[in-house]
Structure 1
Amino acid sequence: MSAMREAAMNSKAWPFEEARRLVKRYEKAAPDKGYVLFETGYGPSGLPHIGTFGEVLRTTMVRRAFEVISDIPTKLICFSDDLDGMRKVPGNVPNQEMLAGYLQMPLTSVPDPFGTNESFGDHNNEMLRRFLDTFGFDYEFYSARDFYRSGQFDEILLRCAERYDDLMKIMLNSLRDERRETYSIFLPLHPETGRVLYVPMKKVDAKSGTVTFDDETGKEWT
C-alpha cells in the first residue's frame, strides 16, 4: 500500500470517510458495469450559481478520494432535469413578461430570454457546461429531455408503474397533508397545452404503459 493510500485510509476528512463507505460496498467485486458511477443533478430553472458549482465539486471530491483508495474505475454524470416545469420567472433574466406566459412549461419548451439558444433550458445547460469546463471538471452531461425522447427511461418508467402503489406509500409518508392530495410520482404533460401537471393519478396501467388523470378543469386524459 502506497503512503498516499495509507494516509487516505486513515484520513478523517469527510470525502475520504464517504469514499471508504463506497469501498466497503464493493470490497468483494467491482460493479457489473466495471466502474463506480457518481452522479450530480441540476435543475436548470435558473442561471447556474455557486450552489450548482458546489454540488458538482462535492461529488468530485468524494470521487477523487475514492480513486486514491480504490483501483476501480469511476465516472461522473451531471444530469439536467430540463423537463421540469418553470414554476416562477427568475428575477435575474431579461424578457420577464414574455417568460410569464410559459409558467409550468418544460424548461426546454420555454423560449430563451437571452435569444442565444433554442430554449431557456438549453441556455442554462450550456452555461453549466461552460462553467464546469472552465474549472476542468471531468464529467459526462445528460439531459432528461434527451433520455425521455430516446426511450432510455421507458424500462424504469414501466417498473415504476408496476410498483406504483408501493412507491406512493413510501413517498406519501414524507409529505404534508396538503401535498399528499395532489402528489404523484408521475408528472404528466398536458396533451393540449404541453404544461407540466401536478395532479394525482386516477389510474396507472402498467400493461398498457398509460396513466389516467384529470387536468385542472376536470377533464380526464389517458
Structure 2
Amino acid sequence: MVTAILLDCGVLLLVERGGPRSLSRPIIGRGTWLDRVAHRLIEREKRLGRSLDLLLTESGIAASGIPHIGNLSDPARAYGVTLAIRGLGYNSEMILFADDMDGLRSVPQGLPKELEEYLLKPVSRIPDPYGCHTSYADHMVSMMTEPLDRIGIEYKLYNAHEVYGSGRLAGIAAEILSNSERVGEAIKTLVGQEKFTEQLPYYPVCDSCSRIYTAKAVEYDREKRRVRYVCSDIEIKKRLHRGCG
C-alpha cells in the first residue's frame, strides 16, 4: 500500500508499506526529471550562498548551418528547467546564446557555392547569401528563434560577437588563458581532446586573412593581456586550408 503525505515544505512524500522494508521517495514539483534538476540547482545555490532572486538557465545555438529538428532539444530542455524552477516558487529566465563567432567549416548543402570564399571566417562576418538579414549568422539564428517563438519558448538572446566585442567576457578569458595548462588538462580528461595541451584554449581571428581556425594561439602575455598567434595550415573535413603566416 502506498500512502501520500504532503509535507509542510510542499514536497509530496510517497511511502510504500507492507513489504520487507519501508520505501519512501520524495516527489518534487510534478515529479519529473526537470523538477529534480531544478531542485538540485536551487539547493546548490543555497549551499554556495548565492542570490536566488533570478536563476538562469542557458542554451547554445549554432549559427553556422541550417537548423534541424535535433537543434530544438537543447533549448527545450533548458526552458523546461526554467519552468520547473518557476514551479518551485523561484524566478527564472533562459539565456539563448548564439555561437556566431564560429567559423564556416563548409558550405551547407543547398546554399550558394559562392560562400566558399568565406570558409573559416566567423559566420557573423559573412554576408547573408539571401540578402534579407544583416549577416549569414543572423539568417541562421532567425531560422531557430522563429520556431521557438511559435511554440512559446521564452528566452533572452545573446550573440557571441556582441558579447565578446563588448569586453564582457574579457576577465573570464584572461583567467582561462592564465591557467591554460590546467584548462587543457581538464579538457583532455573530460572529453579526451588533447589539442589544448599543445596550444592555448583560445581561438583568435587572424588580422590578415580574417579566418579563425588557421590562427593558432601560442603565447599569452598576462600583463598586457595579449595573445600571440601563428596563422598556419589546418585540415578540416578532409580539406587543407592554408594559413597566411
Establish whether TM, by shorter chain, passes 0.5: yes
- Shift in CA distance, 10/147, structure 1 to aligned 2, threshold 3 Å: closer
SS in 2 for 1:61: helix
- Shift in CA distance, 182/120, structure 1 to aligned 2, threshold 3 Å: farther
TM-score normalised by length of structure 2: 0.77
* More displaced 10-residue stretch of structure 1: 44-53 or 10-19: 10-19
- 2:132 and 2:164 map into 1 onto residues whose CA distance is 24
Q: Which has the higher contact order (CA 8 A, sep 6+)?
A: 1
Identical counterparts, % of pairs: 25
- Report the counterpart of residue 138 of structure 1 in structure 2: 154
More strand by share: 2
Among residues 172, 175, 182, which one is paired with 2:192 in the alignment? 175
- 2:197 and 2:98 map into 1 onto residues whose CA distance is 28
- Report the counterpart of residue 64 of structure 1 in structure 2: 83
* More displaced 10-residue stretch of structure 1: 127-136 or 79-88: 127-136
One-letter code aligned to 2:103? G
Q: Does residue 136 of structure 2 align to residue 120 of structure 1?
A: yes
Q: Does residue 174 of structure 2 align to residue 155 of structure 1?
A: no
Deviation by residue 1:192-218 (Cα, 9 ceiling, x = unmatched): 111002554321112111111221168
- Shift in CA distance, 6/155, structure 1 to aligned 2, threshold 3 Å: same
Deviation by residue 1:121-176 (Cα, 9 ceiling, x = unmatched): 01112222222111111110000010111111111112122222221222234435
- Shift in CA distance, 28/166, structure 1 to aligned 2, threshold 3 Å: closer
Q: Structure 1 unaligned runs (5+)?
A: none
Does the aligned pair in 2 maintain the 1:202–1:214 contact within 8 Å? yes
- Report the counterpart of residue 22 of structure 1 in structure 2: 41
Does the aligned pair in 1 maintain the 2:35–2:84 contact within 8 Å? yes
1:104 deviation in Å?
0.3
Q: Structure 2 unaligned runs (5+)?
A: 1-5, 13-26, 234-242
1:56 deviation in Å?
0.9
- Report the counterpart of residue 239 of structure 2 in structure 1: none
- Shift in CA distance, 208/30, structure 1 to aligned 2, threshold 3 Å: same
- 2:197 and 2:47 map into 1 onto residues whose CA distance is 45
Does the aligned pair in 1 maintain the 2:220–2:226 contact within 8 Å? yes
- 2:77 and 2:201 map into 1 onto residues whose CA distance is 28
One-letter code aligned to 2:156? E
Among residues 71, 84, 87, which one is paired with 2:102 in the alignment? 84
Moved >6 Å (runs of 4+): 217-220
- Shift in CA distance, 121/141, structure 1 to aligned 2, threshold 3 Å: same
Does the aligned pair in 2 maintain the 1:107–1:120 contact within 8 Å? yes
- Report the counterpart of residue 197 of structure 1 in structure 2: 213
Alignment map for 1:89-108 (pairs within 5 Å): 89-93=107-111, 95=112, 97-108=113-124
- Report the counterpart of residue 111 of structure 1 in structure 2: 127
- Shift in CA distance, 211/199, structure 1 to aligned 2, threshold 3 Å: same
- Larger C-alpha radius of gyration, 1 or 2? 2
Quote the RMSD (CA, aligned, Å): 2.7
* More displaced 10-residue stretch of structure 1: 10-19 or 46-55: 10-19
TM-score normalised by length of structure 1: 0.85
- 1:216 and 1:151 map into 2 onto residues whose CA distance is 27
- Report the counterpart of residue 71 of structure 2 in structure 1: 52
